């Protein structure tokens, strides 16, 4: 009977965790940030305590549900507040542009040349000079873009209503000028979901009047 009860608890927790992962959304499964990983490890640890101790089983289920709700609330806040996203998840960091290594950013992120070479080999890239752009993502993965596939560097200038200072610097753009040009169109930076730069143009998406389907727009930099 004891073995049956253990199997029953495992069965309950198994389906509870599946429900929680579905509740948290695909972001939690598909791209784990450091914060996401910590939360899921805590949930797994609490669930294992519930399997081992009958007296804590219901409390463990309650704790897991509370943690899932808190994580969901924080995820919703992160969507609405760009600055909070940077604090919780961190920001992508550019470490290679046109074959040039930004060693300052690599040191800041404790990312070694060995890590870089390993990822290059995983992506079948032999030399750093072949890389047009290398971005260390929030979850620790390295995104590499080959020169043979991309003619020029194009980085998001605005994300979730926040101007990306590093991208502005890399593209040698004037931040005040961009704000002014959008102002002339009666568009506030905080309302722009995404804007990228290429060929002296900004391709941007912004939400007005609670639109759900956003169409691309072009802003020509004078």
For 123-160, what is each residue's pLDDT tens digit? 999 999 999 999 998 778 899 999 999 988 989 999 88
Please report which confidence band the pLDDT of residue 2 belongs to, taking 50, 70 and 90 as the band edges.
low
Torsion of CA 210, 155, 27, 123, to 10 degrees: 150
Query: Is residue 73 domain-shared with residue 29, that is, in the same domain?
Result: yes
Residue 94 placed within a domain: no
pLDDT at 28: 45
- For residues 130 and 146, give the distance between their C-alpha atoms in angstroms, rounded to a whole number: 6
Query: Is residue 81 domain-shared with residue 105, that is, in the same domain?
Result: no
Residue 197 predicted with pLDDT over 70: yes
Residue 73 placed within a domain: yes
The domain spanning residue 194 has which CATH number?
Answer: 3.30.240
Q: Is the whole model's pTM more than 0.95, yes or no?
A: no
Residue 27 predicted with pLDDT over 60: no
Residue 220 predicted with pLDDT over 80: yes
Query: Is residue 12 domain-shared with residue 68, that is, in the same domain?
Result: yes
- For residues 192 and 159, give the distance between their C-alpha atoms in angstroms, rounded to a whole number: 7
Residue 123 placed within a domain: yes
Query: Is residue 15 domain-shared with residue 80, that is, in the same domain?
Result: yes
How many CA atoms within 13 Å lie on the side-chain side of 203? Answer: 10
Query: Is residue 11 domain-shared with residue 78, that is, in the same domain?
Result: yes
Of 82, 111, 79, 84, the C-alpha closest to 95 is 111
How would you classify the pairing of strands 156-159 and 162-163? antiparallel
Residue 151 placed within a domain: no
Domain around 69: 2-87
Query: Is residue 191 domain-shared with residue 128, that is, in the same domain?
Result: no
Query: Is residue 41 domain-shared with residue 15, that is, in the same domain?
Result: yes
**According to DSSP H, which parts of the chain are helical?**
2-24, 26-30, 34-52, 57-80, 82-89, 103-108, 113-122, 165-171, 175-184
Query: Is residue 60 domain-shared with residue 14, that is, in the same domain?
Result: yes
Residue 47 placed within a domain: yes
How many structural domains compose the chain? 3
Task: Give the largest Cα separation in the chain, rounded.
Answer: 78
pLDDT at 141: 85
Query: Is residue 177 domain-shared with residue 141, that is, in the same domain?
Result: no
Query: Is residue 70 domain-shared with residue 121, that is, in the same domain?
Result: no
pLDDT at 173: 93
Query: Is residue 29 domain-shared with residue 71, that is, in the same domain?
Result: yes
């Amino acid at each position: 009977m004891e073995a049956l009860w253990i199997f029953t608890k495992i069965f309950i927790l198994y389906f509870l965790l599946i429900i929680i992962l579905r509740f948290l959304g695909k972001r939690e499964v598909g791209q784990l940030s450091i914060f996401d990983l910590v939360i899921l490890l805590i949930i797994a640890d609490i669930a294992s305590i519930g399997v081992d101790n009958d007296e804590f089983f219901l409390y463990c289920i309650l704790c897991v549900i509370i943690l899932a709700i808190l994580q969901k609330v924080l995820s919703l806040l992160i969507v609405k507040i760009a600055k909070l996203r940077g604090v919780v998840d961190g920001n992508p960091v550019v470490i290679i542009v046109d074959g040039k290594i930004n060693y300052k950013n690599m040191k800041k992120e404790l990312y070694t040349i060995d890590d870089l070479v390993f990822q290059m080999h995983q992506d079948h890239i032999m030399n750093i000079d072949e890389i047009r752009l290398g971005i260390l993502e929030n979850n620790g993965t390295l995104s590499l873009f080959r020169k043979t596939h991309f003619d020029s560097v194009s980085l998001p200038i605005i994300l979730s209503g926040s101007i990306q200072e590093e991208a502005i610097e890399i593209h040698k753009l004037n931040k005040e000028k961009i704000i002014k040009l959008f102002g002339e169109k009666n568009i506030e930076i905080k309302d722009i979901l995404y804007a990228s730069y290429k060929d002296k143009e900004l391709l941007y998406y912004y939400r007005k009047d609670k639109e759900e389907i956003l169409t691309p727009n072009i802003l020509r930099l004078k």
